[in-house]
A and B are shown apart, each in its own frame.
Chain A
Amino acid sequence: MRTPASEPREHYLNVSYGVRSWLFTTDHKRIALLYLLAITFFFFVGGAFAVLIRLELMTPAGDLVQSETYNKLFTMHGLIMVFFFLIPSIPAVLGNFLVPMMIGARDLAFPRLNLASWYIFIVGGLFTMFAVVAGGVDTGWTFYTPYSSTYSNTHVVATALGVFITGFSSILTGLNFIVTIHKMRAPGLTWFRLPLFIWAHYATSLIMVLGTPVLAITIALVAIERVLRIGIFDPALGGDPILFQHLFWFYSHPAVYIMILPAMGVMSELVACFSRKRVFGYGFIAFSSLAIAVLGFLVWGHHMFVSGQSVYAAIVFSILSFLVAIPSAVKVFNWTATLYKGSISYQTPMLYAFGFIGLFTVGGLTGLFLASLGVDVHVTDTYFVVAHFHYIMVGGVVMGYLGGIHFWWPKISGRMYPEGWGRLAALVIFIGFNLTFFPQFLLGYLGMPRRYHFYPPEFQVLNVMSSAGASILGVGYLIPMVYLIWSLRYGAVADSNPWEAKGLEWQTPSPPPTQNFEQTPVVQDEAYAYWPGEVEVD
């Protein structure tokens, strides 16, 4: 139905106004925006802590803040970035917005549960922010016992409760996605016609539902030991500190895949759209996501090669860790092969995709160093590890997230952002990132331990380089913040499919109507049917 030009078309953003219409919405698209606001806030809070960390490390002496403060800074940086930004980032924002749209559904299977998970996330966030404001916590984001359960004099219980509560929002989101993907696909949208973004979110949801309860239990046990002095992890009370590490990493290693798998899903969409080609080896990419989800549960012990666990356990965890690297490598090769004989354009989202491939490759390969037992003994708990996981979590996840935000921004907001600024920001972020984190590989091999407030003077030059890079990276993150907000008012109006992409979300107006589609779409094509002619599918 056409509306007259004088009367603007009704869509999910202008269908109703007022705070209540947002806080009580059950529209998955509005909930996605609620998440976007919340995690952007947490990203800049976590980022502010990172700025202070890098400022402190400019000089070998601990001269900017006291050790107590420094320890709280890196703890809260890690906690906020991991639990309140990276884990919800792509699934809760882009996944929430896109999972129903990509499968031709009108909403998620449980819209009210979806709103509940946002509220749970916010309550968890408030507990954690309370702990920050009340004086902070200094256990490291890993909460290692018995330091966290007995020795730390900071707000461990409030923080733990925040993480515990937030976990349930993750569980409910995962549950919602699993049911939605199983039950609400449009007619004709078989499993092997699904966009790879959906496969990635399906695999992620499995980990969220199966892994997060273990974290909740572990954190609860720490709080119980701390408050009631029941011996679980502290040897002075008859507990076992290594048990904590097993339980913690049983969730927290798969959590890495909760973060990276959705970014890989975004990558498949970007690479296909901007080379106008079906993703090479669709089935291999889809199943490698599931392989990562399954194998990812069996490698937690590689965080504990020098913790005193048995030599034979270490050997088993080492070989499994090498195995989990293979499906990630398969994905990178398939994306690269997708470019072959494509029609490649260099718009902003594709620049993030190139950045992702580069940084994720480095992050993945340096993971092999940590899986190799003999080398891990030297580099574990040093800046080598810090550099490695930032290549995966920032170089991989944040690049994927920003690429996705730019790609779907016209759909979400109905506006285009300024392309020149977009490309510039992508470039600044890429350069700033490498300057920040590459020197940390060298620092780590030299032996600089992580979580050090002050350090011997021979490590200073590399630290100064890293801090200089961080200032560039910080500017890189502020640029999109500014022009994306600017575009909401001044950006060119986006049509329904500005990238000429395939996928059901592009077949409905931008911004989409509340019910997503005027009529339920019927799917007759394979995913990524960019080629207009006949395709033989094997």
Chain B
Amino acid sequence: MRLDFPLFPEQASTVAGRVDALYFFLVAVSVVFSSLIFMLVGYFAVKYRRRSDAEWPRPILGDLRLELLWTIVPLGIALVMFVWGASLYFTISRPPAEALEISVVAKQWMWKFQHPGGQREINALHVPMGRPVKLTMTSEDVIHSFFVPVFRVKMDVLPGRYTSMWFEATKAGDYHSFCAEYCGTQHSGMLGRVIVLVPAQYERWLSAAAVGESPAAAGARLFQQLGCQNCHRADSGEKGPALDGLFGRPVRLQGGATVFADEAYLRESIFDPNAKIVAGYRQVMPTFRGQISEEGLFQIIAHIKSLTKEETAKAR
């Protein structure tokens, strides 16, 4: 048995310290309130212990001022906790715009990662220190949850849709990642490592693990193979909307609604093209569900994203 065990997790991300600060505030409030209750109960129990069986104390029916006091004071403190917790949650839920984007596919019982340069990893994730990293995640089977305790972040990974999380590591090291949502027999074996490297080391790791083809390039190939460019190109007219400059922009839909073209929208449009139809086009696209793997879909989306980057670069 290891006796040098920790009682508190390391802080290795930009939000870890902020989560811990709120945690300590909650601990402090809990200690104050529980000590207050325990001391009062203990004090009354001793002071007013029954001394004779003939004691029948005079009743005290209640006191409105006290009732208001112990309703309003806890309510006030609870609201502070709420606002503090909610503002932190906003930070945790909103990835910074220039984050390094890594795609994650979970399955029973492993984690598959792919870096923007095409490097792939299983059950281990190398990330640079001091740079925000955004994970876009999906599952091939049941619900999983990616959890890195030292970063204080966790997000469920769902089949059939994308979820995302982000972190910025502040300390180099080799840390645990866990699957936090029960996912079947080997749930506790779905253990991974997150290896935080200083930027220079990270660059070295990237070149050592290089594979030659980026997800965007692989996606461009798939785009050709599946015949997407037949309808989705600049001169395709009314057959289908062009995809250059689409990612990250608002899209007007039939019926007047507007949707923001993110990963989830692209995923839905490829697998379930009937769901949202761009204004000015007819529904002619077939579904590609079952024809593209989760990794393939990430690559096609990477390709569509790269079209926007080229567009932006040209405009500059």
Interface residues of A (CB under 8 A from B): 62, 67-68, 71, 138, 140, 144, 146-147, 150-152, 234-236, 241-242, 275-278, 280-284, 305-308, 311, 314-315, 318-319, 322-323, 325-326, 329-330, 332-334, 336-337, 339-346, 354, 357-358, 361-362, 365-366, 368-369, 371-378, 380-382, 442, 445-447, 449-462, 464, 528, 530-533, 535-538
Contact = CB atoms under 8 A, between A and B. Distances in A.
B18 A458 contact: no
15 contacts: A144-B181, A278-B60, A283-B62, A306-B145, A319-B86, A336-B40, A336-B41, A343-B51, A365-B34, A372-B81, A374-B91, A445-B23, A447-B150, A453-B188, A461-B1
Interface stretch (B152-160, B209-217, B239-247): B152-160
Given A144-B142, A234-B159, A530-B59, 20 more contacts: A67-B188, A68-B185, A144-B181, A151-B142, A235-B160, A236-B160, A276-B57, A277-B59, A278-B60, A281-B67, A333-B37, A344-B44, A346-B45, A373-B85, A378-B19, A382-B147, A446-B7, A461-B5, A462-B5, A538-B62
B71 A330 contact: yes
Given A147-B184, A308-B161, A322 B79 contact: yes
Contacts of B181: 144, 381
B21 to A, nearest CB: 10
Interface in B227-271: none
Contacts of A535: 59, 61
Contact of B2 (A308, A447, A457): A457
B7 A374 contact: no
A462 B9 CA distance: 14
Given A147-B182, A454-B188, A365 B23 contact: no
Interface residues on B, range: 35 or more
Contacts of B92: 374, 377
A372 B48 contact: no
Given A311-B90, A458-B5, A460-B5, A377 B153 contact: yes
A334 B70 CA distance: 9
A461 B29 contact: no
B3 A354 contact: no
A371 B161 contact: no
Nearest to A362: B34
B312 interface: no
Interface stretch (B121-129, B172-180, B200-208, B296-304): B172-180
Contact of B48 (A152, A280, A344): A344
Interface string B39-81: 0110011001111000111111111001100110011001101
B7 A538 contact: no
A277 B82 contact: no
Nearest to B70: A333
Given A146-B142, A461-B1, A372 B84 contact: yes
Contacts of B5: 458-462
Contacts of B308: none
B293 to A, nearest CB: 14
A274 to B, nearest CB: 9
B26 interface: yes
A241 B60 contact: no
Contact of A281 (B62, B91, B149): B62
A306 B70 contact: no
A449 to B, nearest CB: 5
Contact of B154 (A368, A373, A377): A377
Given A381-B147, A451-B187, A453-B188, A318 B86 contact: yes
B88 interface: yes
A314 B60 CA distance: 42
The 6 closest A-B pairs by CB, nearest first: A447-B149, A235-B160, A374-B88, A372-B85, A373-B89, A339-B44
B288 interface: no
A427 B92 CA distance: 43
Contacts of A138: 184-185
A462 B185 CA distance: 24
B59 A151 contact: no
Contacts of A280: 60-63
Contacts of A368: 26, 29-30, 78, 81
Contacts of A358: 34, 37-38, 41
B45 A344 contact: yes
Given A447-B9, A531-B58, A330 B178 contact: no
A318 B44 contact: no
Given A71-B187, A280-B62, A345-B50, A372 B82 contact: yes
Given A235-B161, A337-B66, A531-B58, A147 B145 contact: no
Contact of A446 (B49, B56, B85, B149): B149
Contacts of A377: 19, 89, 92, 152-154
Contacts of A241: 143, 158-160
B72 to A, nearest CB: 9
Nearest to B1: A460
A236 B67 CA distance: 53
B1 A378 contact: no
B142 A147 contact: yes
Contact of B45 (A308, A334, A339, A536): A339
Contacts of A242: 158
Contacts of B18: 374
A461 B58 CA distance: 51
Contacts of A284: 62, 67
Contacts of B82: 318-319, 322, 371-372
B48 A371 contact: no
Given A339-B41, A446-B7, A531-B56, A314 B89 contact: yes
B153 A378 contact: yes
B71 A458 contact: no
A328 to B, nearest CB: 10
- Most B CB contacts (10 A, CB to CB) among A62, A344, A366, A459 go to A344
Residue with the highest number of chain B CB atoms closer than 10 Å, among A62, A281, A442, A456: A281
Contacts of A340: 44, 48, 60
Nearest to A327: B71
Nearest to A274: B50
A461 B3 contact: yes
B244 to A, nearest CB: 30
B33 interface: yes
A532 B55 CA distance: 11
B163 interface: yes
Given A138-B184, A340-B60, A374-B18, A147 B37 contact: no
A339 B48 CA distance: 8
A284 B71 CA distance: 10
A341 B48 contact: yes
B102 to A, nearest CB: 18
